[in-house]
Structures are given as structure tokens and as C-alpha cells.
Copies of this chain bind each other. A is one copy, B any other.
Amino acid sequence: MSGLPTHVDIRDVSLRDGLQIEEPIPLSAKLDMLAAIAATGVREMEATAFVSPSKVPALADAAELAAELHNFPDIEFSALVASPNGAKRAIAAGLRSIEYVVSAADGHSRANVGRSTAEATALIPEIVAIAHDSDVTVEVIVATAWDCPFDGPTAPQRVLDVVAAATNDAVDRLAIADTIGTATPRRVTDLITLVRPLIGDTPLGAHFHNTRGAGLASAYAAVGAGVTRLDASVGGLGGCPFAPGASGNIATEDLVYLLRDSGIHTDVDLAAAIDAARVAQHAVGHGLPSALLRAGDRIPG
């Protein structure tokens, strides 16, 4: 861990990854969350996904939500897509930034999108062309980068193959995702160290779940290894709502606390992030796993 950056970009993914497996909530509740999250000062948010409404009913209102985003001109919103058609829908709805997910493990890739990793990778140029034709940026997110729920541990070379293809295809950003929350810091350092030489100046992000308690440790390791962008959700939204306390994404407020005390600036105000976690907890109607939501900052506000 040879030196930490002075700034890390946090992308709040509460409205997409955080809500994806929750029971659907009304658009008005999402807009309440959006306003609270915007008030934290965060500069980037994953707003929704343009995927099959029957597969992800919680995000079936993607176009309606997208129509509200112009009210927050200071935030860069992105949407997740899983196909060229999804990319077209996102752009038609007004998104200026899309995320295309490729699972590095065949098992997860087939279960998720009905395509092998190689087939999903082969779609990157078409998606980049669709996006760049409209001056929209594309991030490729490599899912199941450490472990797959079907295939077990993911061979690093499978991740590197996707990364190399995406870099070659001129994507604007890359991210590595711990989709099922199994990563630990040394494995994170090892993989990021292999990824970095392949990507030139392409900004590199990472996405962790706190499922096995190591989400923040992994995020800190990632930052130490050269990642400058981290996904997080307020309250740690994104766990299974039917397993109380089961952790979802790393909590924005817990991450901001750790980074602040490590001398790493983010644009996110900690007290406002705790407030936003409360709004999210109210919106979904059950407790969230965030630590700061319970314990508060060590420094009185």
C-alpha cells in the first residue's frame, strides 16, 4: 500500500443497487431519497437500470425516474445496462452516462444475461459506439471479479481479458465488482495490481458489498492499490430485506468516515450522509446495516 490518494470519488448506488432487490417503492419515495443523497454533496449517482422490468420490478420506473434527474444539474447520473438495447433505452431517457456489466464468470454471466463472458464482452464495441455517437460515456463493470456464486473463485485472467478488451474498445471508465461480497483486502490488492498495467489512464473504480464484513477493508485496500472511484449506498442498502442485518453495499457514511480519518477527501458530507441513510431506512421500511447510522461520528457535530 504505497501511498494513498488525496481524493476519492464516491458514486452513490442507493437508487439502483441499493433498491434492486427490495420490494418496489413509489417513485415519490425514490425522489425523497434522491434529494437527501444529493444534499450530501456527492457528485455521482447510479440512478437506475434499463433492464427487464419483469426481472427487476423495483426498477421498472427507470424512464419515469430519469425524467426527474434534470432537477439535479450538479450530479452526474448513470444507469446500468446489460445490452445494446438497454443502452439505447437509457440514452433515449436522457442519461449521459451508462454502465455496461460483464460478468467475468461464465456461470453468473449466463444466469444474469443469458450470454457467456466472451459473448457479453463481444458486445462492448457496439455499446461504446451507441454511447459515443450520442456523446454519452461508458463504464464497463467487471462483475464476479473475485468469486461467482455458481463457478466459485474467478481466475484473475478472466477479469484481465475483459479489462483488456474494454480498454481496447475505448471505454471511458472501468470498475471491478465484488458482486457477492466475498472479497478481502489482500485479494483486492492482488487483482487491482494485475489490472492497473492494462488500462493506461482509464479511471478505475471498485464496488464492494459488506456481506462478509470485509467491505470497508477491501475498499481501503483498493484505494491503496490505485482505485480512485468507489461505489457505496446510504445506510448500506442492498442487502436482502428478508434477512435483518444482512449487509448490502458498503455504507456511504461508513466509507466517508473511514476515508476522512485517512486524510482522503470526498465530496460527501458525513452528517448529511447519515441523514440520507435515515431517509432511505424510512423509504424501505426496515432497518439498515450501516454502523454510523447507529454509532454516529466520533467527532460531535
In the complex, are the beta carbons of B184 and A258 less than 8 A apart?
Answer: yes
Q: Which residues in chain A, 257-301, are within 8 Å of chain B measured between CB atoms?
A: 257-258, 261-263, 287, 289-292, 294-295, 298-299
In the complex, are the beta carbons of B212 and A291 less than 8 A apart?
Answer: yes
Report B-chain residues with C-beta under 8 Å of the C-beta of A299.
152
Q: Which residues in chain A, 1-22, are within 8 Å of chain B measured between CB atoms?
A: 1, 4
In the complex, are the beta carbons of B294 and A246 less than 8 A apart?
Answer: yes
In the complex, are the beta carbons of B295 and A211 less than 8 A apart?
Answer: yes
In the complex, are the beta carbons of B186 and A246 less than 8 A apart?
Answer: no
Give CA–CA (A244, B216) in the complex, Å: 21
Interchain residue pairs with CB less than 8 A apart (14) = A180-B298, A184-B258, A185-B220, A211-B291, A212-B254, A212-B257, A212-B298, A213-B216, A213-B257, A213-B291, A214-B216, A216-B217, A243-B294, A245-B289
Q: How far is the CB of A155 from chain B (nearest CB, A)?
A: 15
Residue of B nearest to A1 (CB): B1
Task: Scan A143-169; emit 1 where CB is below 8 A from any B CB, else 0.
Answer: 000010000100000000000000000
Q: How often does this chain occur in the complex, in copies? A: 2
What 5 A-B pairs are tightest by C-beta distance, nearest first?
Answer: A213-B291, A186-B262, A217-B217, A213-B254, A1-B1
Residue of B nearest to A246 (CB): B294
In the complex, are the beta carbons of B147 and A210 less than 8 A apart?
Answer: no
Given A147-B298, A224-B1, A298-B147, answer yes or no on A290-B213 (Cβ-Cβ < 8 Å): yes
- Say yes or no: is A86 at the interface (Cβ < 8 Å to chain B): no
Q: Interface size class for chain A?
A: 35 or more
Residue picked from A1, A147, A217, most chain B C-beta under 10 Å: A217
In the complex, are the beta carbons of B246 and A295 less than 8 A apart?
Answer: yes
Given A214-B254, A292-B213, A295-B246, answer yes or no on A186-B261 (Cβ-Cβ < 8 Å): yes
Task: Scan A27-66; emit 1 where CB is below 8 A from any B CB, else 0.
Answer: 0000000000000000000000000000000000000000
Give CA–CA (A181, B295) in the complex, Å: 9
Report B-chain residues with C-beta under 8 Å of the C-beta of A102.
none
Q: How far is the CB of A134 from chain B (nearest CB, A)?
A: 39
Report B-chain residues with C-beta under 8 Å of the C-beta of A287.
244-245
- Say yes or no: is A103 at the interface (Cβ < 8 Å to chain B): no
- Say yes or no: is A187 at the interface (Cβ < 8 Å to chain B): yes
